[in-house]
């Protein structure tokens, strides 16, 4: 019986230690989709540093939102956060499902987004960030051959243009490899023509920052004001109403971020749930502990 007591104390200590580490230092998650390829692959286990942006204290529904040693998110960071737009808005923030995406917009940044809310700016924070490209249907066999030759897997046909051109998404690095090998014979084009003329400026809200209301950002601002600022807000035509009064600008009380997947086909990013408020952030993706291939074991995430 004495030995059983020792083992019980030892086991309880280990369990307590693991719970404390998970609550106060690092947590773990598995990548549920292909949205962050080629940075992170579906099924990989990732360790997340909870102190990257300061420790968010647990039990938000009991004690409210508090963060020790708060730090800003770095542009280009891969961030773990709670779903800002759950099916049941009454679900406590720290019990909502997890998302992981790359931050491409910090408080006060202006992003140029197209009608699909995809960034068309020239700044690229990762060679894995993908874009849509089109090419003639007659070149499909050549494209498939290059994909196989360059060992680019999981790249499925995304659709067709009105002119009958095929659409696929490639990362900047994949596109570089393909065009270097192809020598420009296939005739790839950016789906949006490589032009930002159809893009509009979107200001990422920040604490004490006043953001002007425009027809293209009105719904995003309304969503943030209603769901994260706790104000009664609605849209009628091109007018934003807050607490029943029309407003042309709104001063925010929190910092927000814009998150993007590497692959534009995957919608588990800010195109789906809008701006991500600071109180939903958990931490920065740090290490791969359960890899998709042995050479990725304990690889630092960037």
Whether residues 155 and 225 share a domain: the answer is no
CB 140 within 8 A of CB 166: yes
Q: What is the pTM of this model?
A: 0.79
Whether residues 59 and 156 share a domain: the answer is no
Whether residues 231 and 154 share a domain: the answer is no
State the pLDDT at residue 171: 83
CB 32 within 8 A of CB 42: yes
State the pLDDT at residue 18: 45
Instruction: Give the total number of structural domains in the chain.
Output: 2
**169, 190, 211 — which closes off a domain?**
190
- Dump the DSSP string for the chain: -HHHHHHHHHHHHHHHHHHHHHHHTEEEEE--SSTTTTTS-TT-EEEEETTTT-EEPS-HHHH---EET--PPPTT-EEEEE-SS-SSTTS-GGGSPEEEEEEEE-TT-EEEE-TTS-B--S--S-TT-EEEEEE-GGGHHHHHHHHHHTT--S----EE-TTS-EEEEEEHHHHHHHHHHHTT-S--EETTTT--TT-EEEEPP-TT-EEE--TTTHHHHHHHHHHTS---EEEETTEEEETTEEESEEE-SS-EEEEE-SSTT---SHHHH-PEEGGGEEEEEEEEEE-SSGGGTTPBP-
CA distance 127 to 119: 15
State the pLDDT at residue 167: 94
State the pLDDT at residue 73: 95
State the pLDDT at residue 128: 74
State the pLDDT at residue 19: 47
Whether residues 106 and 235 share a domain: the answer is yes
Whether residues 210 and 92 share a domain: the answer is yes
Whether residues 114 and 205 share a domain: the answer is yes
Q: In the chain, which stretches have pLDDT less than 50?
A: 14-21, 23, 195-197
The answer to whether residue 20 is domain-embedded is no
Q: What is the CATH number of the domain that holds 143?
A: 3.30.70
Range of the domain at 255: 31-41+48-118+201-284
44-90, pLDDT tens digit by residue?
999 999 999 999 998 888 989 999 999 989 999 999 999 999 999 99
Whether residues 274 and 234 share a domain: the answer is yes
Whether residues 109 and 149 share a domain: the answer is no
Whether residues 114 and 35 share a domain: the answer is yes
* Residue indicated by tokens 């104000």: 231
Q: In Å, what is the CA distance from 130 to each residue of 28, 187, 255?
A: 26, 18, 27
Whether residues 109 and 257 share a domain: the answer is yes
Whether residues 166 and 263 share a domain: the answer is no
CB 286 within 8 A of CB 47: yes
- Give the phi and the psi of residue 21 in degrees, each rounded to 5: -60, -45
């Amino acid at each position: 019986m004495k030995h059983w007591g020792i083992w019980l104390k030892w086991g309880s200590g280990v369990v307590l230690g693991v719970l404390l580490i998970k609550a106060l230092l690092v947590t773990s998650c598995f990548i549920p989709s292909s949205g962050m390829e080629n940075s992170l692959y579906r099924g990989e286990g990732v360790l997340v540093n909870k102190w990257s942006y300061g420790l968010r204290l647990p039990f938000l529904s009991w004690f409210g939102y508090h963060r020790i040693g708060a730090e800003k998110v770095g542009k280009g960071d891969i961030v773990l956060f709670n779903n800002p737009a759950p099916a049941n808005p009454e679900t406590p923030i720290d019990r909502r499902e997890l998302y992981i995406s790359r931050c491409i917009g910090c408080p006060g940044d202006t992003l140029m987004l197209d009608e699909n809310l995809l960034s068309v700016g020239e700044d690229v924070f990762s060679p894995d960030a993908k874009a849509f490209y089109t090419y003639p249907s007659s070149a499909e066999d050549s494209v498939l051959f290059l994909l196989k030759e360059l060992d680019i897997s999981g790249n499925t046909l995304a659709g067709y243009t009105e002119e009958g051109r095929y659409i696929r998404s490639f990362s900047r690095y994949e596109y570089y490899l393909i065009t270097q090998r192809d020598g420009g014979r296939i005739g790839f084009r950016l789906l949006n023509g490589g032009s930002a003329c159809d893009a509009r400026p979107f200001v990422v809200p920040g604490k004490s920052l006043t953001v002007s209301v425009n027809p293209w950002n009105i719904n995003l601002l309304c969503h943030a004001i209603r769901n994260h600022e706790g104000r009664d807000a609605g849209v009628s035509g091109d007018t934003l109403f807050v607490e029943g009064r029309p407003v042309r600008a709104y001063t925010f009380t929190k910092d927000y971020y814009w998150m993007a997947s590497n692959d534009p086909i995957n919608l588990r990013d800010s195109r789906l749930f809008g701006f991500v408020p600071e109180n939903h952030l958990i931490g920065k993706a740090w290490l791969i502990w359960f890899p998709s291939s042995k050479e990725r074991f304990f690889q630092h995430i960037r």
